[in-house]
Amino acid sequence: MVAPKKLSDDQAFQIYYSQFEAPEKKSTYELAKEFPNVNQSTIQRTAERLKKQFQADATTFTAYQDWKKQIVEAPYLFKIEARPDGSSAFTSPYPWVTDYMEGRYGRSRNPAQTVGNIRATMNRAQAIWLKLGKRNPNSWTRQDLNNILMQTTPGSKFSTSLAMRAVSPPLMSVHGMTTGLKGEPRKVAILMLPDFPQMFKQIVAIAKEKADDERTRDEIELILLTKAQTGIRTGVRRWESEIWGTRIAAGRSPIQFIGNDFTWHVYAKRGEEWDIGFKTDQLRTMLAGFVRKYDLKTGDWLLSIGDTKANRLLREACQQLNLTPLHLHDCRKIYVSFLVRAHIPLETAIGLNVGWKDMNTAFKHYLQFKPLWEEMEAQKRKFGGLFA
């Protein structure tokens, strides 16, 4: 047995490699964080012991060389290269990593966006791979995951787990490894105020006043009220996603009108799709009137201004009211807060436009406004008590 009782042979070889051969030598303190069952002294003694043993025992040195060849010596984790036809080529020394990248790319309806997402995931996975001494991801364990998460900030634990699972076959089969790791949704305090619906009307009115021309005034009102009444995300025009990617009866996010009513199919992030099925009379009238007023034809974009300008108008309106500035994406939270105010239960709310696939995410967003509902109930009871 090469290693002391607290370490496997593979772990002992990893310590030796990290101390004497890795491009970036790790301190015993860093290694102790990766192997929480041993202290720095044990790690140092293990490395020195193996160094002497390799000189005296050819069999042990051969075992180490075999381990290094199988586990450590891959020159890189992944490569993404552009082909002459504009598509992308994916390679990795580990065949299953190549399969993961090619599979994700092949299933996408938006290759350009997907390549960026794949690269982001793989860059994170590669940083972890380097931290683990370039070990073959096929050898990663739940303990490796736990060790990495101990060194990861709370806001990055979820994406770190996803990156490790994406490239490690053993971790792909671990059930619930990301449960509870997704960060809490950002809370916007003013949304909890009892009179926020009235405040929101003021925000919309001031944003319109700050617009440069009539169409911009109409568009900022349409953007804010539509987002607050449907939960639609801002989206990206070039990907034809969500409200900024919406076109009249065309594209991935088409909106089609029949009289004063409409159907709206929405293409969202990660290739998700959903339909707006819950429509207020105000929303129907506003959208149909806007399309008629500006004579929008099939294929035209619904919006003409950019999201940067819309965000600026929203921010300036909030500042004029001495409120913490809102962002366009906060309108999605406004929508959920209005659902809660209307006493619409979560299981019903999920089917009303918001486009959530992850029930845990939906629950977190909905739950943060639960105290608002409870406060409203308490006020109702207090009012009723006046007549008892």
Phi, psi (deg, nearest 5) at residue 277: -115, -15
- pLDDT of res. 1: 44
Contacts 24+ apart (CB under 8 A), 289-296: 290/218, 290/222, 291/248, 291/257, 293/218, 294/215, 294/218, 296/248
- pLDDT of res. 270: 64
Domain spans, the chain:
9-71, 79-172, 189-375
Q: Which residues pair with 285 in a beta bridge?
A: none
For 209, residues 6+ apart whose C-beta sits below 8 A from its C-beta are 217
Both tokens of 284, joined, read 């129907």
Contact 247/220 with Cβ under 8 angstroms?
no
- pLDDT of res. 286: 95
Q: How does DSSP classify residue 273?
A: E
CA separation, residue 350 to residues 12, 29, 273 (Å): 51, 48, 14
Q: How does DSSP classify residue 266?
A: E
Contact 223/210 with Cβ under 8 angstroms?
no
- pLDDT of res. 259: 83
- pLDDT of res. 46: 85
Contact 71/135 with Cβ under 8 angstroms?
yes
Contact 255/248 with Cβ under 8 angstroms?
yes
Report the distance separating Cα 168 and Cα 139, nearest Å. Answer: 8
Q: From first to last of the 388 residues of the chain, give the pLDDT tens digit.
A: 455 556 777 778 888 887 777 655 677 777 777 676 778 888 888 888 888 888 888 888 888 887 777 666 678 899 999 888 888 999 998 889 999 999 888 877 678 778 988 999 999 999 999 888 888 898 888 888 988 988 888 878 888 999 999 999 888 877 777 766 666 666 777 888 878 889 999 999 999 999 999 999 999 999 999 999 988 989 888 788 899 999 999 999 999 998 888 999 998 876 778 888 888 899 999 999 999 999 999 999 999 999 889 999 999 999 999 998 999 988 888 888 888 787 777 666 666 666 655 556 666 666 666 666 666 666 666 666 655 4
- pLDDT of res. 183: 62
SS3 (DSSP) at 84: coil
Q: How big is the chain by its Cα radius of gyration, in Å?
A: 28
Q: Where are the alpha helices (DSSP H) in the chain?
A: 9-20, 28-34, 40-56, 58-71, 95-107, 111-131, 142-150, 157-167, 169-172, 196-209, 214-230, 281-293, 307-320, 330-341, 346-349, 359-367, 370-385
SS3 (DSSP) at 124: helix
Phi, psi (deg, nearest 5) at residue 257: -110, 140
Using alpha carbons only, give the angle 42, 75, 159 rounded to the nearest 5 degrees. Answer: 75
Classify domain 189-375 at the CATH superfamily level: Intergrase catalytic core (1.10.443.10)
Instruction: Please choose, from the candidates 151, 78, 154, the residue with its C-alpha nearest in 3D space to the C-alpha of residue 121.
Output: 78
Its pTM stands at 0.58
**DSSP string of 197-260?**
HHHHHHHHHHHHHT-SSHHHHHHHHHHHHHHHHH------GGGT-TGGGEEETBSSEEEEEETT
CA separation, residue 157 to residues 143, 179, 186, 270 (Å): 15, 11, 16, 20
